[in-house]
Amino acid sequence: MRRTKVISLATAIVLLLPLLLTGVCTPAFGAENPLDGARLEGPAARYGERNIGNPGSHRMGLLPSRPDPALELDASRLVKSTPLKSTVDLTGTLPPIGDQGNQGSCVGWATGYYLKTWWEKREHPSWNLDDTRYVFSPAFVYNQINGGQDQGAFFEDAFPLLENSGDVDIEEFPYDDSDYTTQPSATEKEAAKQYRIPGSPKWGYLFTNDVNQGGLGPFDNSLTEVKSLLDSGRPLVFGIPIFSDFPDTEGNPSSPFYDYGGWNPDSDFLGGHAVYIAGYDDSVGGGEGGFLMVNSWGSGWNGNGQVYLSYEFARKWVWEAWFMDDSDSSPTVTGVSPQTVGPGAKVTIKGTNLGCERRSAKVVFSGSSAAASVSSWSNGQVEAKVPAGAATGDVYVYAWDGERSNGKQVTVDPNAPVPIDLDSSWLLAEGATWPGFDEWVLVMNPNDEAARVQVTFLTPGGQVDGPALSVASQSRLSIHVNDFVPNRDVATVVTATNGVQVCAERAMYVSTADGKWGSHDSIASPGTSNTWYLAEGATWPGFDEWVLVMNPNPEPVEVEVSFQTPGGNVGGPRLSLASGTRGTVHVNDFVPNQDVSTKVNCLTSGAGVVAERSMYVRTPDGKVGCHNSLGAREAAEGWGLAEGATWPGYEEWVLVQNPTGSEADVVFYFLTPDEVFYGPEFTLAAGRRASVRVNDYVPDRDVSTMVFTWYEGQEVVVERAMYVRSPDGKTGAHNAPATAYACTDWYLPEGCTSHGFDEWVLVMNPDAEYRADVLLTFLTPGGPVNGPSVTLPPVSRVSFNVNDYVSGDVATKVESDGYVVCERSVYAGGASGKAGAHSSMGVLAPYVHERSGGFSSGHLPSRQISNLRSAFENDRP
């Protein structure tokens, strides 16, 4: 049973290994190898090798820059006309002396740890720099600019990274001198954006020397601009050579002052080093004067981690000097929408420097001291729910450290309807409770703890609050919609309110005065979509077709409906749907006497809708019943249908829609319990729909269906419709959409095995090579009941009669070690008082569990049906 998963994992590792190996070696900025010939040549290539040497116990890591001349700072703006102070010391707002250890990360320490922390401390005087939450990470900088190798880095890469990405604190992204490849997570990158520096010319160099071509010096650096910057209270960084006489290095004694005393720089040179310059003193060195350098070799180096570099050394031997300004990192709110809301509504807060949701970050509304529930948080936008008790007034965003933004007013209307939380809701567009329509919504809780749900009904007149209910763990609950909104057209929303996610389905039983008869069913949609496709449809005499569209959004939407027929595209109506309403399109009014597919497109930016189709059938040739289907969100290259039968009294059709702008070459395969049959092949023109009568290819069989397009990039949409009048008394029609995914776990919320109900669960193994071990568990109002297990051979299908295992209302959980496809069919009649047949595709279990962060940890344990195409093509005659 484990074979499929082990092979899938192994295959994934083989496929991903080259990507992983290159991925960890690819920085977010400055992706080229720091030592490649384009950036480091001639003598500098040797410098690059030697800069990772080990003078004593200390590493270095500066690679000499050859920056764009446009990055040179305007010196005239920096020189002061008034006399400079004789001494400047900016170490009072520095973090503790750091230690880069055995890693060539000095550039990250000089720019991120020292320079960025200094600027933020100046903006936030209350920050305690002994707390690592307030000190910026050298690893965030170095790991993203080192090209995946611990061979040093360039200043000219560090500053663009700080401009484009920012930096994050060392507690969030810790420093480890043995790890130079780990890249920041999405959350860490979002947190860092709050601390981006302004762009050039707010950063750049005062001077650089082309060590690549001109050697190690001596140079003729101007120090006036350097001292002017420091005198104005702004620190900077140097790129310096470390020579063999450097203090507390290579056995040298400590010294508070350094002036290079040798005359053989090439042989004395040990490596390039990035250092932080925190001031100057004209009197040190016996009046020679020097710049106060703060090192990243630990507080024990040279006694206190610092040394004065003589002015003469800085003039003749320093490679480069860089400066950066900073931006205000305070959270700022620039706008809130909508500005008038009710309790429970979701508002979008836009701004700058909002960071991400971490630590003490929160959103607070006037009238409520509690933090609002947040559904998404980025540096530029936060989506938050208005809490109960909120009042008209300002809303504030608090950063992770408690810093409060400016306020923006929101008007809170306590009488406004509570908006729908689409992130935790299941949506059903169809529904009716008129005389002769009996509607039920079924809620399944597959979790090990109870779920709380809120039911909301959307009618043509607006939103109606339904019941708030508890669904016990591992159980299913039935809701009779007629009891809450009688005599209405109605769409339904089921929202999980306590974080325990559920899934939902709707069943309808119909017997109306105008002759509609039967039953139909559909799973709910986990969210909205901009586009929906409905492959099935017919408006011939005896076929009455309706398309249902719901708008669960807090704002109105515009919707466009179009049709695909065997003759081509046909334009349809345009709907204007108010918030919390549902609309109905009678397809017969637009494309009479045709086979027809439908496309529903939401035209309102940032919103989506849900679409279904229902058909009521009473034809001259004896078809009778009704069926319904949720639309498909996408066109695809491969589709699977688990259910199907062509026995006497069963007429099966598979419908193929091509909503794209190019033709598609389509091929069918039929999977029975015993063997695979090759089906028809045809070319379907753009904007067309085709119908395949399965009985013509595999008569007198239980049958599943696979539909592929021949070529990559060709996409279609597939459904199945069945009309039943069997010798054993089954009568009616049912329908289901195909699935573009096979999955290891499926949920079927609806089901009933009470007297008069005959329920079947159909499972297909579409894999051409591996068997699948399948286990069923039934969830009843009283809890779970163990069901059967079976091993499905490759490319086969099996049918389970649920009546053999449980009695009453029942949901079904299907688990497999392979990727399977699952449906359920119910036939009703006799003593039940309900009649007809209905069928539904199962719910992909990950759609439930991903919402609560469980089960698959954000990765669907599913595979696209189209991935199986090559195996079928290889065996085709």
Q: What is the pLDDT of residues 112-124, one digit of tens each?
A: 999 999 999 999 9
557-565 and 517-523 beta bridge pairing: unpaired
In the predicted structure, residue 856 carries a pLDDT above the cut 80:
no
Mark 70-92 as b/e (b = at least 16 C-beta within 10 Å).
Answer: ebebeeeebeeeeebeeebebbe
HEC readout, 106-128: HHHHHHHHHHHHHHHHHHCCCCC
Q: For residue 38, what pLDDT is reported? A: 38
The 10s digit of each residue's pLDDT in 384-425 is: 999 989 999 999 999 999 999 999 999 999 887 777 888 889
Q: Indicate the DSSP class of residue 248.
A: T
Paired strand residues for 340: 411
Q: For residue 461, what pLDDT is reported? A: 86
Q: What is the mean pLDDT of the chain?
A: 90
Q: For residue 24, what pLDDT is reported? A: 28
- pLDDT category, 834, cuts 50, 70, 90? confident
Average pLDDT on 279-288 reads: 98
pTM over 0.85: no
Average pLDDT on 202-214 reads: 91
The whole-angstrom separation of Cα 775 and Cα 782 is: 20
Q: For residue 867, what pLDDT is reported? A: 83
CB 414 within 8 A of CB 342: yes
The 10s digit of each residue's pLDDT in 727-769 is: 988 999 999 999 999 999 999 999 999 999 999 999 999 999 9
Helix, strand or coil, per DSSP, at residue 190 = helix
The 10s digit of each residue's pLDDT in 233-257 is: 999 999 999 999 999 998 999 999 9
Q: For residue 875, what pLDDT is reported? A: 63
Average pLDDT on 166-176 reads: 98
The 10s digit of each residue's pLDDT in 538-585 is: 999 999 999 999 999 988 999 999 999 999 999 999 999 999 899 999
What residues contact residue 667 under an 8 Å CB cut-off, 6+ apart? Answer: 679, 680, 681, 707, 708, 709, 710, 876
The 10s digit of each residue's pLDDT in 618-628 is: 999 989 999 99
Q: For residue 595, what pLDDT is reported? A: 96
Written as six digits, the tokens of 421 are 């939380």
Q: For residue 265, what pLDDT is reported? A: 83
What is the helix, strand, coil percentage profile of the chain, to 5?
Answer: 15, 40, 40
Q: For residue 832, what pLDDT is reported? A: 61
- pLDDT category, 833, cuts 50, 70, 90? confident
Please give the radius of gyration of the chain, using alpha carbons only, rounded to the nearest integer: 35
Written as six digits, the tokens of 96 are 């503790």
Q: For residue 831, what pLDDT is reported? A: 65
What residues contact residue 213 under an 8 Å CB cut-off, 6+ apart? Answer: 42
The 10s digit of each residue's pLDDT in 466-510 is: 999 999 999 999 999 999 999 999 999 999 988 899 999 999 999
Q: For residue 414, what pLDDT is reported? A: 86
Query: How close are the terminal C-alpha atoms of the chain, in Å?
Result: 31
What residues contact residue 193 under an 8 Å CB cut-off, 6+ apart? Answer: 165, 166, 353, 355, 379
CB 235 within 8 A of CB 118: yes
Written as six digits, the tokens of 354 are 């909002």
The 10s digit of each residue's pLDDT in 627-654 is: 999 999 999 999 999 999 999 999 999 9
CB 733 within 8 A of CB 762: no
The 10s digit of each residue's pLDDT in 770-806 is: 999 999 999 999 999 999 999 999 999 999 999 999 9
Helix, strand or coil, per DSSP, at residue 174 = coil
Q: For residue 57, what pLDDT is reported? A: 66
The 10s digit of each residue's pLDDT in 21-75 is: 233 222 232 333 333 333 444 434 444 434 334 445 689 999 999 889 999 998 7
Among the listed ranges 101-115, 275-289, 663-677, which one has the minimum average pLDDT value? 663-677
Q: For residue 281, what pLDDT is reported? A: 99
